[in-house]
Amino acid sequence: MTASAAGALAPSRLRRGATRSGLTILVDTAFSVLLFVGTIVGVIALATLIWTIFDNGWVRLMADPVAFLSNYVSRLPARAGIRAALVGSAYLMVLTALFCFPVGVGAAIYLEEFAPRNRVTNFVEANISNLAGVPSVVYGLLGLGIFARFLRLGPSLLAGALTLAVMSLPVIIVAAREAIRAVPDGIRLGAYALGATKWQTVRRQVLPAAMPGTLTGTILALSRAIGETAPLLVIGLPIVIFSLPNDLRDPVSALPLLIFDWTSRPQPAFAEAAAAASIVLLALLLAMNAVAIFLRNRYTIRW
């Protein structure tokens, strides 16, 4: 009895290939290599992109960064700057956030905490997820039809911000709902058991606990919106513009529009300017994502 127990543990049984065939070991290795290649493809693509942009634009940007940021556009590539586009993008982003954050969070609160479980709610929920996948150019058509034409806002700051807000809304709703759902039920029950009303429970406990996740989602949605070209192009926001907006009804430009315009020009100097503007846009996006990551790491509650 003891002999056979010892036999089961004989070292030869533990050697490579003792029970597994060579093929299974090969398949095992092949898959981990394949998965690593899959990961590296994305990283290489990003690295190539950043390298190309910096290679083309760094010299142009650094030649006179102040002038590049503060000049308006020009037909002379050497004197062209991104002032109107940069300020326009900033205005668009702030306004978009003001429109879509309260509406998105409100919709998420309603769907998670108040909506009755019925077919209408299910239909709305399914379609919000669908809307998150609609191409941005379609939102441009919506903005053109409703905001620019029907509401007579024209190609204005307000029309652009509303269009981007409608586009970002589904992503924000989905993110906020997930954050609200992640708040443990014990928190709600604890508040109710103290005599809090439903609204007090949601407003003072659930919402603050869900805020880090909601903010992270909102910032990521906004950083997608700030890089969008198609919807702004469709509603007809101008590229060549020599003033900053003083009013919601004034026209504005945006960085992606300017980059799109400059890359389609024949002069190589404009291609360099486009690359330089892309560096600025990338820096903005990375800064926003960094804020999102900071919020997530700093404020996320570990229950």
Q: Which stretch binds other proteins (CB under 8 A): 4-12, 92-100, 189-197, 267-275?
A: 189-197
Q: How far apart are CA 198 and CA 4, in angstroms?
A: 68
- Tell me which amino acid residue 70 is: S
- Give the x-and-dash track for 103-142 against other proteins (CB under 8 A): --------------x-------------------------
DSSP string, 27-39: HHHHHHHHHHHHH
Q: Is 301 in the site for other proteins (CB under 8 A)?
A: yes
Size of the site for other proteins (CB under 8 A): 22
To the nearest 10 degrees (0 to 180), the angle between helices 255-263 and 83-109 is: 130
Give the Cα separation of 213 and 85 in Å (integer): 30
Taking CB under 8 A as the binding criterion, the range among 79-87, 129-137, 155-163, 190-198 that sits at the site for other proteins is 190-198
Residue selected from 194, 246, 266, 298 as contacting other proteins according to rule CB under 8 A: 194
Q: At closest approach, how far in Å is the CB of 216 from other proteins? A: 16
Stretch that binds other proteins, among 24-32, 48-56, 179-187, 277-285 (CB under 8 A): 179-187
CB-nearer residue toward other proteins: 109 or 226: 109
**Closest alpha carbon to 167 in 191, 136, 190:** 136
Question: Is residue 190 a contact point for other proteins (CB under 8 A)?
Answer: yes
Q: Which of the stretches 93-101, 153-161, 198-206, 284-292 binds other proteins when contact is defined by CB under 8 A? A: 198-206
Nearer to other proteins among residue 150 and residue 303 (C-beta): 303
Residues 6+ apart with CB under 8 A from 253: 84, 85, 88, 237, 238, 239, 240, 241
Instruction: Determine if 264 is a binding residue for other proteins (CB under 8 A).
Output: no
Cβ at position 121, least distance to other proteins in Å: 13
50-54 contacts: CB < 8 A, separation 24 or more?
Answer: 50/282, 52/275, 53/275, 53/278, 53/279, 53/282, 54/275, 54/279
Per the CB < 8 A criterion, the answer to whether 148 and 235 are in contact is yes
Q: Does 189 bind other proteins (CB under 8 A)?
A: yes
Q: How far is the CB of 112 from other proteins (least distance, A)?
A: 14
Look up residue 290 and give its DSSP letter: H
Q: Report how far residue 16's alpha carbon sits from residue 5's, in angstroms, rounded to the nearest whole number.
A: 21
In this complex, which beta carbon is closest to other proteins, that of residue 17 or of residue 186? 186
16 makes contact with other proteins (CB under 8 A): no
C-alpha–C-alpha distance, residues 24 and 193, integer Å? 57
Say whether residue 298 binds other proteins (CB under 8 A): no
Chain residues binding other proteins by CB under 8 A are: 117, 184, 186-197, 200, 204-205, 208-209, 301-303
